[in-house]
Amino acid sequence: MSSGDGGLPLPLHVESRGSGPPILLLHGYAANAFSFHAWTEELSQEREVILVELKGFGAAPKPEDDRYGPKDLAELVVRLIQARDLRDLCLLGHSFGGGVALLVAIRLLARGELDRLSSLVIVSGAAYHQPLPPFARWASWPRLWLTALRVLPSRALIRRVLRTIVHDPATVTRTQVEAYSGQLRSPEGRRAMLEVARRIVPPDLDVLVAQYPDLHVPALLLWGRQDPVVPLWVGERLERELPAARLVVLDACGHLPAEERPRESLAALLEFLREGV
């Protein structure tokens, strides 16, 4: 748990390593900081790497409340940035975490604090209306959803999900399965996943999208060409609508660039951090 305003705790799990200008990384839905394990060591040689596990995921607290929407989670990240007085910050989000990162930038803009960000990195990030993934559709039947998660073998379920979102299913490893299946083994973890899924699309998404052109921050958009979860058109549209964005597309890559193409994706990220857009 991280400290928030006035020393009050925030329901986040935060780990830092390395030194230098900070880069704060936000994982996707049903994930955790493991998503960035292939990047962390090299990044921490020239940056302070801040790994945040969002409320409800990984080792973060999972309180019984109704504040699990993307805007709720973005507000917690804003409070973390303010509490630590982070500046010259690169904010990076993957998948659902990419959507949260965009909301963080919008909130900082509204508070006159967008200059805290030196850059923004969206990796296969949710940004617009698109067909909902199965977990979000199933969340309409919460009792059935929770029952299924309780009775289905967690490792087998996660293995199956991972194989549907990567380009090459044969590359899914036992280590990945173990890293992502732990949350399904506790009632608190399953409930938190449901609470996020039920709120995964902000009700005012169109209003938020209209603010993307106001985010005058250098941005890297990193996408797998074969992403089946957040299609490439999302990255292409973001490149048009963000005022200082560059899209990098990785071939033979699905929804997990940092895990499917760790060397290529890290190289693109480091080049961007060193040179900007």
Q: Residue 139's pLDDT is what?
A: 65
SS (H, E, C) 83-131: HCCCCCEEEEEECHHHHHHHHHHHHHHHCCCHHHEEEEEEECCCCCCCC
Identify the pLDDT of residue 8: 58
Residue carrying structure tokens 């009050």? 8
User: 42-80 burial, b if ≥16 CB within 10 A, otherwise e?
Assistant: bbbeebbbbbbbbbbbbebebeeeeebbbbbbbbbbbbb
Pairwise CA distance, residues 70 & 245, whole Å: 22
User: Which pLDDT does position 277 carry in this prediction?
Assistant: 46
> Distance between CA 46 and CA 41 in Å, rounded?
10
Q: What is the pLDDT along the chain (277 residues), one digit of tens a residue?
A: 665 544 558 999 999 999 999 999 999 999 999 999 999 999 999 999 999 999 999 999 999 999 999 999 999 999 999 999 999 999 999 999 999 999 999 999 999 999 999 999 999 999 999 987 776 677 667 677 677 777 778 899 899 999 999 999 999 999 999 999 998 889 999 899 889 988 999 999 999 999 999 999 999 999 999 999 999 999 999 999 999 999 999 999 999 999 999 999 999 999 999 985 4
CATH topology of domain 2-134+202-275: Rossmann fold (3.40.50)
> What single-letter amino acid sits at 219?
A
- Predicted pLDDT at 224: 98
Strand order in the sheet with 48-53: 13-17, 48-53, 22-26, 89-94, 117-123, 219-224, 245-250
- One-letter amino acid for residue 1 of the chain: M
**How many angstroms separate the CA atoms of 95 and 104, rounded?**
14
Cβ–Cβ < 8 Å for 106, 210: no
Residues 190 and 131: their CA atoms lie apart, in Å, by 23
What is d(CA 57, CA 76) in angstroms, rounded to the nearest whole number? Answer: 14
Task: Please count the residues of the chain.
Answer: 277
Predicted pLDDT of residue 86: 98
Q: Supply the pTM of this predicted model.
A: 0.95
Which letter does DSSP use for residue 152 in this model? S
- Give the N- to C-terminal CA distance of the chain in Å, as an integer: 34
196, burial (CB in 10 Å: exposed 0-12, middle 13-18, buried 19+):
buried
Cα–Cα distances (Å) from 12 to 4, 33, 62, 120, 198, in that order, read: 10, 12, 9, 21, 20
Cβ neighbours of 97 (radius 10 Å) = 30
